[in-house]
Structure 1
Amino acid sequence: MSYRPLPPRSAALLAAAALLASGPALAPDARAGDEDQPGLHYRAGALDLTLTLDAGFGLFSAANAGNGIGSTSRTGERAGGRAWAEGFVAPGLAASYDLGGSRLYGGIKAVGSATRGQGEAQATSTTSDRPEHLGLEEAYLGWASGSSVAALGEDAIDISAGRQGFSVGDGFLIVDGAAEGNRRGAYVIGPRGAFDRTAILRVNTAPVRADLFHLQGSTDQTLMRGTDAAATRLHGGNIEWFGGEDAARSDYAARSWYLGATFLNLYEADRGVAAARDGMKVYAVRTGGTLLGSLGEAFSDFALYSEYAVEKNDGAGSKKDARAWYVEPQYTFPALPWTPRISYRYARFSGDNNSSDGTDHAWDALYSGGGARGFGSWDQGEIYARYVGGNSNVASQMIHLRTQPTDALAVGAIWYWHAYDRRPSGVTDDALMREVNVYAEWETPLPGLSLAAVLGAAQAGRGRRQELGTTDANDRTTWLGQIVFGWSF
């Protein structure tokens, strides 16, 4: 793999990151850091400033791309496998101003990313020309109630607007506001995710909390070379009844269990890209965590995650009737070495093989993504999800074994069996793909440095080979190896 020198704008970004890291010289009474929050902190009276720097670098290699068909570059060269590297840096500045019981806050963050080597291993690689991009990721302002509404709890009311991240539940519907690859580069690492033109009201009460929000996807057809999702504006609401520690009011990870419901109204979308989005309504209900824990200690290690969602549109020329759902029981064995956890998930996302009825039945994955529960959330397979297909027209089974040898190290294996929900024209077999991923996640002893490594293998099913139409060339096993370093300061 060969690399070219960083161009001036990338070098300038790294220089800015170096300046950020030297932040203590900016103020004589700057604190070297907080025990609870990363970054360099500075306080002057009622004003708190925090300088942060996130960075990531990954090495990737895929053999037998497309199960033997290979991967084609943007200029037409075909390769049986690909090897590439991705990286990003994301400097940020957050501010908070104490109003005496409540506070104003805001933040700004930029992301610079690049891909080197041969580019990612999709059927047509979008990053084979070694792209790079530097742009604004976040810019938002907000107000948090602090102790000013003491009866409802600390920061029970939180209002914010601008360009920022937002998620609902475990990311089944909404977690990632921006697509990656093409001129943005960093297709796999995916450092971007903020939504544009947001207005978010969080009511962080307990045991019931709610969100009211307006979002717009960060769509840019120029950067994505005409392949981005339809530019979409939506508003909606989310309500959850939950259990857990006090932090669970605002932190998904702190919720020991929850029941939730979401409504979305996609009131404007680019009809030229996805007509069925324009005017579409989405209804969803979900469960998560140790719902049965109150029945006794025998149930305290059993968790159940599930969601059922419907997409409906009755507009002329944009009719939509699609469904998606999953159910995922899991059990943890705390008395066994390495505290293994085993889970099984069945998920189904509707497809459409009948274009003559005037209604689109294919599930629109909206702004789903990696998800809040790590490997195996809503990127279903490091090979299938990134290089083959997505969460539409697929029925998926998953078995996930995760162990925790130490507090800093997790090791796991995931098996997937993907089938078509509706067979494409000319396909007589449901089998789409089988895949296995073995992974490790390590929080290294170096402050802020983490590592995630994956080895994956995938075989195309008979139906997939029929769909591609070249059954003599696509029966090989695709192999994937990747290692990603992440650093937060």
Structure 2
Amino acid sequence: MAVQGAALKRSILALLALGAAQAAPSVVLVPPVQAQVAAEADEGQRIAEIRVRLTNPSADPALNDRAIDQFRRGLAVYPDDHFYRTLVDFALNRATRAAGLAGASYDIGFADTGGLTLTFDLTLGDAAAAGAPRGMLATGKASDFPVLYDSGGTYVKVKAESIALYYGNADAWYGRPDLMLNGNPMVQGKPSGKGYQHWVEGMVHTGLYGITPLSERFYVYGGASVLASGSYGQELFSNRTRSHVAVEDAFAGFITGVTRENGDRLQLDASVGRQRFTLGDGFLIINTAANGRDRAALQANPRWSADMVALARLRYNNTKVELFRVDPDELPILDSKTVIDGINIETRLSNGFEAAASFLRVPHSSFKYFTPTQTFTREGLQVFDARLRWQPNPAGTPGPFVAAEAALQRNENFDMQAYGFYGEAGWSFADLPWSPTFSYRYAQFSGDDPNTSTFERWDPLLSGGNGEQWVQGINHFKVVQDSNVIAHRFQLRLRPSAKFELVPQVWLFRADSLTNLGGNPALSFLGSKDYGYELNLTGKYFASRNVYVQGHVAATFPGAAVKKAFNADPDPWLSTMLFVRVAY
């Protein structure tokens, strides 16, 4: 009888919480599921290594070294930056002109411990050739696409990219969407469920981007684009065919700086408008736009630009300071009016150490937190965050690496103390065939303890990214996301070539608290802390700098928490995915 009474109590409290959510439109019990797969797998990723080489070195070693040094000084792209194709193109153009090169290009590969390797190939030539106008409008040559104009430091290009994606699920939501999606506003029509079901998605994104000097050291830049997306078939939340066209990027900024003779570099970069922004590796901020529902393309995840990002970035050598405001582009039906202000400081120390600290504040939001008796809003949230990384050996050589991040959340308006942290340790065997790298990561995000007056449930904010960032489990993330969860991740990276990578993962998931209000309604009150486990394999391949292919298979097995909530033994959830991205 005691067990039955406890179960009845949990059921009553869950119904009360769900009723409160339905009575108040601004209340969101289930965070919108988005960005499970980052289709733009290069965009936004950490730059782990930068290599520079000459394609036609001269017989004078001093001349070669001087050209490479001048290029590096003018490039203003650094390890640990986030890779954004257009901004790297701008930097490459400025550096090529400053070094008096006849030409320069770059290629993309996978780094041994995660992130990307950028390899810049420089072509020596005479000053006249280096300064000659380039681009379709200047030369009339279609082969210059996507560059329209490149002369005297003015550089204008077309952005053109597309994605085609196939996705399939067997027994999505463990075959019980009626329970797992009860009250979820993402549902339109019939969601995926029992059996194998699949769909296709597509995206086309095009726009104009440019940069021009107002003086020798002061450049202004900007960009604007439109993105069209569509979905057809039986998607996770819907079986309706949908399409959507909207402005994606619309930003402007300036960059200025100086490089002294001793090599010290000072740079200021400021911008404002619709653009994407990532803090660190996405532990707190990466998903600055929402996908799915009427916008379609839930898994292709093509939209990243926030409604507004105001960003000022000051860099001196290996130290960077960022001031920012982020107003994410949320789905209209789930718009919480959240705005995030923050400051971020990062520095590269000696012996392979990198350290960073951030402070975030939410001046306005209607997003709701739940307890069995009260609700609170996100407005007034404060986040104190610190992170570090240590990799003593150069990239491409065997050795250890360690990464960690920890954050504390408080609120100015009520008693809140939530925490999230992770620690990862691994070893690169770069001298072995396929350059394997093994790592283990432990992550914990607090849940609420109903026996205290303090609210302790972790708020994931705009966390996410891909399966190697904070999408914790390709399928399981859709069930729990990053709150009230303890995750053990065992990961192996295999690189048959610099452009081909295989990433198998094993995940074990547990709850931090048996009280899970604010998560999936079917799991509002847990009878066990065992969420389950997942096995998955992701394959990634750069066919060229412009063509990227990725696929995965994943199997997720429900634990006792799910089985008790269902009062049954649900089937495992299997998924498959393949996408191709072409970008210029």
- TM-score, normalised with respect to structure 1: 0.81
User: What is the alpha-carbon distance in structure 2 between the residues aligned to residue 170 and residue 426 of structure 1?
Assistant: 31
Residue pair 1:33, 1:41 contacting (<8 A) in 2 also: no
User: What is the alpha-carbon distance in structure 1 between the residues aligned to residue 381 and residue 140 of structure 2?
Assistant: 50
User: What is the alpha-carbon distance in structure 2 between the residues aligned to residue 164 and residue 279 of structure 1?
Assistant: 25
Superposition map of 1:246-265 within 5 A: 257-265=353-361
Structure 2 vs 1, CA of residues 321 and 39 (structure 1 numbering), >3 Å: closer, same or farther? farther
Partner of 1:265, secondary structure, is strand
Superposition map of 1:219-368 within 5 A: 219-221=330-332, 226-228=333-335, 230-242=336-348, 257-270=353-366, 275-290=376-391, 292-293=392-393, 301-315=399-413, 318-354=414-450, 357-368=452-463
Mapped pair 1:443 → 2:553: no
Residue pair 1:102, 1:148 contacting (<8 A) in 2 also: no
Corresponding letter in the other structure for 1:47: T
Residue pair 2:154, 2:212 contacting (<8 A) in 1 also: yes
Partner of 2:334, secondary structure, is coil
Aligned-residue offset at 1:379: 0.5
RCO higher in structure (CA 8 A, sep ≥6): 2
Return the match for 1:415 from 502, 506, 509. 506
Mapped pair 1:393 → 2:484: yes
Structure 2 vs 1, CA of residues 91 and 77 (structure 1 numbering), >3 Å: closer, same or farther? closer
Aligned to 1:466: 564
What are the Cα deviations for residues 117-143 of structure 1, in whole angstroms up to 9, with x where unaligned? 1112xxxx1x42122211111111111
Residue pair 1:139, 1:162 contacting (<8 A) in 2 also: yes
Aligned-residue offset at 1:192: 1.1
User: What is the alpha-carbon distance in structure 2 between the residues aligned to residue 342 and residue 429 of structure 1?
Assistant: 31
User: What is the alpha-carbon distance in structure 2 between the residues aligned to residue 31 and residue 143 of structure 1?
Assistant: 30
Residue pair 2:188, 2:293 contacting (<8 A) in 1 also: no
Corresponding letter in the other structure for 1:442: Y
Mapped pair 1:457 → 2:522: no
Q: Decide which moves more: 255-264 or 73-82.
A: 73-82
Corresponding letter in the other structure for 1:383: N
Structure 2 vs 1, CA of residues 27 and 207 (structure 1 numbering), >3 Å: closer, same or farther? closer
Aligned-residue offset at 1:219: 2.3
User: What is the alpha-carbon distance in structure 1 between the residues aligned to residue 212 and residue 420 of structure 2?
Assistant: 43
Aligned to 1:8: none
Aligned-residue offset at 1:275: 4.0
Aligned to 2:228: 112
User: What is the alpha-carbon distance in structure 1 between the residues aligned to residue 266 and residue 239 of structure 2?
Assistant: 46
Aligned to 1:481: 576
Corresponding letter in the other structure for 1:206: N
User: What is the alpha-carbon distance in structure 2 between the residues aligned to residue 102 and residue 243 of structure 1?
Assistant: 29
* Number of residue pairs the alignment of both structures matches: 429
What are the Cα deviations for residues 400-445 of structure 1, in whole angstroms up to 9, with x where unaligned? 0111001221112000001101013653321102101111111115
Residue pair 2:135, 2:148 contacting (<8 A) in 1 also: no
Corresponding letter in the other structure for 1:431: D
Residue pair 2:276, 2:305 contacting (<8 A) in 1 also: yes
Partner of 2:317, secondary structure, is coil
User: What is the alpha-carbon distance in structure 2 between the residues aligned to residue 104 and residue 459 of structure 1?
Assistant: 52
User: What is the alpha-carbon distance in structure 1 between the residues aligned to residue 326 and residue 177 of structure 2?
Assistant: 38
Residue pair 1:234, 1:265 contacting (<8 A) in 2 also: yes
Aligned-residue offset at 1:257: 4.3
Aligned-residue offset at 1:272: 6.2
Aligned-residue offset at 1:53: 0.9
What are the Cα deviations for residues 83-109 of structure 1, in whole angstroms up to 9, with x where unaligned? 011111111211111122220111112
Partner of 2:377, secondary structure, is helix
Corresponding letter in the other structure for 1:401: L
Aligned-residue offset at 1:243: 5.3
Structure 2 vs 1, CA of residues 107 and 426 (structure 1 numbering), >3 Å: closer, same or farther? closer
Aligned-residue offset at 1:150: 8.0
Partner of 1:325, secondary structure, is strand
Aligned to 1:6: none
Superposition map of 1:45-124 within 5 A: 45-70=152-177, 74-76=188-190, 79-80=193-194, 81-99=196-214, 100-120=216-236
Partner of 1:211, secondary structure, is strand
User: What is the alpha-carbon distance in structure 2 between the residues aligned to residue 44 and residue 119 of structure 1?
Assistant: 47
Partner of 1:75, secondary structure, is coil
User: What is the alpha-carbon distance in structure 2 between the residues aligned to residue 415 and residue 271 of structure 1?
Assistant: 33
Structure 2 vs 1, CA of residues 85 and 78 (structure 1 numbering), >3 Å: closer, same or farther? closer
Partner of 1:267, secondary structure, is strand
Partner of 2:161, secondary structure, is strand
Structure 2 vs 1, CA of residues 175 and 427 (structure 1 numbering), >3 Å: closer, same or farther? closer
User: What is the alpha-carbon distance in structure 2 between the residues aligned to residue 32 and residue 301 of structure 1?
Assistant: 46
Structure 2 vs 1, CA of residues 153 and 141 (structure 1 numbering), >3 Å: closer, same or farther? farther
Return the match for 1:164 from 272, 275, 280. 275
User: What is the alpha-carbon distance in structure 2 between the residues aligned to residue 433 and residue 129 of structure 1?
Assistant: 31
Aligned-residue offset at 1:227: 3.2
Aligned-residue offset at 1:76: 4.8
Aligned to 2:137: 27
Partner of 2:316, secondary structure, is coil
Aligned to 1:375: 467
Corresponding letter in the other structure for 1:309: A
Residue pair 2:136, 2:149 contacting (<8 A) in 1 also: no
Q: Decide which moves more: 164-173 or 263-272.
A: 263-272
User: What is the alpha-carbon distance in structure 2 between the residues aligned to residue 419 and residue 282 of structure 1?
Assistant: 24
Aligned to 2:249: 138
Partner of 1:27, secondary structure, is helix
User: What is the alpha-carbon distance in structure 2 between the residues aligned to residue 256 and residue 186 of structure 1?
Assistant: 39
Aligned to 1:250: none
User: What is the alpha-carbon distance in structure 1 between the residues aligned to residue 416 and residue 494 of structure 2?
Assistant: 42
Aligned-residue offset at 1:198: 2.0
User: What is the alpha-carbon distance in structure 2 between the residues aligned to residue 426 and residue 213 of structure 1?
Assistant: 37
- Structure 2, unaligned runs of 5 or more: 1-133, 182-186, 370-374, 516-523
Residue pair 1:149, 1:156 contacting (<8 A) in 2 also: no
CA RMSD for the aligned pairs? 2.9
Mapped pair 1:185 → 2:323: no
What are the Cα deviations for residues 214-265 of structure 1, in whole angstroms up to 9, with x where unaligned? 11111242xxxx234x211121100011159xxxxxxxxxx96410000001
Structure 2 vs 1, CA of residues 279 and 426 (structure 1 numbering), >3 Å: closer, same or farther? closer
User: What is the alpha-carbon distance in structure 1 between the residues aligned to residue 207 and residue 352 of structure 2?
Assistant: 31
User: What is the alpha-carbon distance in structure 2 between the residues aligned to residue 151 and residue 281 of structure 1?
Assistant: 40
Q: Decide which moves more: 73-82 or 300-309.
A: 73-82
